[in-house]
Chain A
Amino acid sequence: MKIGVFVCHCGTNISAVIDVQKVVNDLAKMPGVFAMDYKFMCSDPGQNMIISEIKQKKLDAVIVAACSPCLHELTFRNTLIRGGLNPYMLEIANIREQDSWVHTDRDKATEKAVRLAKMAVAKAKRNQPLFPQEVSVEKSCLVIGGGIAGIQAAIDISSAGYQTVIVEKEPSIGGKMAMFDKTFPTLDCSACILTPKMVQASQSKKVKIYTYSEVEEIGGYVGNFNARIRVKARSVNMEKCTGCGICWQKCPVKVNSEFEQNLGPRKAVYVPFAQAVPNVPVIDCVNCTYYRSKRQNPESKGLCRICEKFCPAGAIEFDQKDKIIEEKFGAVIVATGFSAFDHKVYGEYGAGRYKDVVTALQFERLLNSSGPTQGKILRPSDSKEARTIVFVQCVGSRDESKGVPYCSRVCCMYTAKQALLLKEHIPDANAYVFYIDIRAAGKNYEEFIERVQDEYGVLYLRGRVSKIYRTGDGALLVRGADTLSGTQVEISADMVVLATGLVSNPETVKLGQMIGIPYDKNRFFTESHPKLAPAETQTAGVFICGACQFPKDIPDSVAQAGAAASKVLGLFSQEHLMLEPVLACVNQKICNGCFHCRAVCPYNAIDEEILKDKSVVARVIESKCHGCGNCISACPVSAVDLKGYTNEQILEQLQSLR
């Protein structure tokens, strides 16, 4: 094997400290090694020199002793390709950042340069040509979650001409945004800006929407994911139903509506809200009289069946079963959103025992003119108009003792908005806001807070509330403090609104493990890089957007959805994908099937394979492997190795230091 060593002066960056000539001489003494130096190896003449030497000297591998591989590894790999060599036959000896720039003693630095170059030679001797693998791309995207982020991503991808599938677990798309009354800081009506998007998505030929559905399994790898989707039985035929609404008008069963946050009723057959997409009801099997009677007596004909009787389209199908759909996707966008914090752990605020202590989401519904009170601020306990309302911020945010140490980012703004809307509904109402810090970092946000305080006269008190309890007259006594004046504050209120924080969706962990997206200690998905890759994940081909990554407001969610969509489009614009060849591989003759490798693999890239002799051995799923090498260190019999960083190569490098 013939190896060429090219030592760079880098002007004087290297040669000022290192005796380049001595490095060349020392290396040239090694058997099978040719060495030379040049002023600027990365320049065109430098590269051309390498190319001509490769061809003339018939080199098998190349060492460039120069700057850090982080800078010019790719440059020189291309040089090798141009010289007719496999790009992975290149090794770099970093004699600038880690030698000439950090040492002053010429002899010692030169000696170190020689060691570094010799180590590179030792490795290169064992280098093998590596070839990037090529995979095809299925040009269809799965979007999990049909809130504003998911809808936006689906619209963006479909408008570029690619197929998109939204899977939403609720009966309608729209997510949390559909529940809001108005949006800060512009006070646009939430439904007015969301509903057109929902309709646009549902009418697009390129978007398929599965509501009341869940993703049960995802396998495969970038460009080639397989998903199994369970479409739950709606008990209503989606093709036949016209959405006329007779069924839910006639249904005699009333239960609390989840969409109305338990403040209003819905029927057992229902659409969650008037603008639902699709406008097709579902039957809630738990509460429906028919299903309950059937559970008690499976032989009977079943009671009630009023909806079936009245449906003019004959769309009620009690015997409908869940449907399983299997589809292939090239990319996945996860947009599963958040859950509202459950304030039951706040014993000091009544732990949910006081009806008039409501959550922010409940207050949104009370403000909403299509909500349970038609937009009147009536307190839930006795339906009297609430004239004094206390807003308590940071409930389930910035509270380590309750397991939520982070700031939920949106509560300061939505509380200000709710206080403002309260003042618009009832101008002489008293609104008090207990806050710790006002975080209004967004376009026109600070100005909005200012308006709420100055124009609307909402009184802000700086301090956390310690206790809320009901007094004899039915009012709520709020005990707080104003740390700025150093006084305790006691307010007798008609209603208290808790600015409940945003917590991760309960399905995050399950979904993350299934698809291979890591999550942080607060169970939010972790992006691939916090600054430079905010919509990507560790798993190639899987992207995230919206509040499943961290609490976000609507504009940020929409922006991130666009970013995720553009990454998907970038992927779909390629016919084939080239995957980095630094991958693990198993020598199945040695493998003893202990699967320690699988236990440490963070990417589920190890599979079982049954050989002809019935023995079970490990196999690397190359498309899933990221090449970290964890499995190699875990293997007790050295059956696994990492291409490009084999045990042999590294041991040879260590040996060279002798």
Chain B
Amino acid sequence: MKYLLNVKNLNSEFVREIQAESKTRILHCYQCGKCSAGCPIANEMEYKPNQIIRMIQLGMEESVLKANTMWLCASCITCTVRCPREIDIAEIMDVLRRYAFKRGIFPAAVADIPVFNRIFLRNIKLFGRLYELGLIGFFNLLTGNPFKDVLLGPKMFFKGKINLIPERIKNASEIKDIFKRSAEIEHSD
């Protein structure tokens, strides 16, 4: 008989790592489910937020990182402010995303979200500010939906809402340096 939860597959260090990085007491969770009850996106999630917390407690690293839950988190922080045990669930989701990002683990179903994040950040790295047209264009190209939201484009353009040329800040090279040093610091941690 195959047990889904087998101590051999569990990473008992996982909870400690996530706990240390998020500075929140994951082992303190008593599974009341209030986070999942109030989550605006829980419906779309493979595992509900409370289940993710439970899985971290158990050390189910692989299942947690492969789930779409953290990528669907909208960072609305409702879970954190209502948690009776003062666990910062939103921060845990952030930590998990960074943890997965470092290791390059992205579940296929939500692969477009990290892609979006990457393009967004590259945008800022280049110009110091966001260039929406470039962002949306690149994103659609990379996710294979070149015509998504294409109907909204002209509407917004005629209302003077889209810049055709990106805004640049004067010292864009400074921003590149910040990106570089941040990456170094993250890496050394």
Contacts and interface: CB of A to CB of B under 8 A. Distances in A.
Interface of A: 348, 394, 398-402, 436, 462-467, 479-483, 486, 488-489
Interface string B51-86: 100000000000000000000000000100011111
B147 to A, nearest CB: 33
B30 interface: yes
A358 B84 CA distance: 21
Contact of A400 (B31, B39, B82, B84): B84
Nearest to A398: B84
Nearest to B42: A488
Interface residues of B, number: 22
Given A464-B32, A488-B42, 8 more contacts: A394-B84, A401-B83, A462-B33, A463-B32, A466-B35, A483-B48, A488-B43, A488-B48
25 contacts: A348-B38, A400-B85, A401-B84, A402-B84, A436-B33, A462-B33, A463-B34, A463-B37, A464-B37, A464-B84, A465-B37, A466-B37, A467-B37, A479-B38, A480-B33, A481-B33, A481-B34, A481-B37, A481-B42, A481-B50, A483-B33, A483-B50, A483-B51, A488-B37, A488-B39
B36 interface: yes
Contacts of B86: 400-401
Contacts of B35: 466
Contact of A480 (B31, B37, B47, B85): B37
Contacts of A480: 33, 37
A397 to B, nearest CB: 9
Contact of A483 (B36, B38, B82, B85): B36
Nearest to B84: A399
A489 B34 CA distance: 11
Given A348-B82, A401-B86, A464-B84, A436 B30 contact: yes
A402 B30 CA distance: 16
A463 B36 contact: yes
A438 to B, nearest CB: 13
B48 A486 contact: yes
Contacts of B84: 394, 398-402, 464
B32 A467 contact: no
B82 A466 contact: yes
Contacts of A398: 30, 32, 84
A483 B31 contact: yes
Contacts of B47: 486
The 6 closest A-B pairs by CB, nearest first: A466-B38, A463-B33, A466-B37, A481-B37, A464-B34, A483-B33
Q: Give the one of B38, B47, B78 with max A CB within 10 A.
A: B38
A463 B39 CA distance: 13
A376 B83 CA distance: 36
A370 to B, nearest CB: 36
A79 B51 CA distance: 67
B138 to A, nearest CB: 35
A488 B48 CA distance: 9
Nearest to A461: B33
A379 B42 CA distance: 32
A404 B43 CA distance: 30
A347 B164 CA distance: 45
B38 A467 contact: yes
Contact of B33 (A348, A399, A464): A464
A486 B51 CA distance: 8
Contacts of A465: 34, 37
Contacts of B78: 466
A479 to B, nearest CB: 6
Contacts of B33: 436, 462-464, 480-483
Contacts of A486: 36, 47-48, 51
Q: Give the one of B30, B37, B86 with max A CB within 10 A.
A: B37
Contacts of B36: 463, 481, 483, 486, 488
Nearest to A346: B82
A401 B38 contact: no
Interface string B102-136: 00000000000000000000000000000000000
B85 A401 contact: yes
Nearest to A402: B84
Interface in B135-189: none
A403 to B, nearest CB: 11
A483 B47 CA distance: 11
Contacts of A489: 37
B37 A479 contact: yes
Interface in B10-34: 30-34
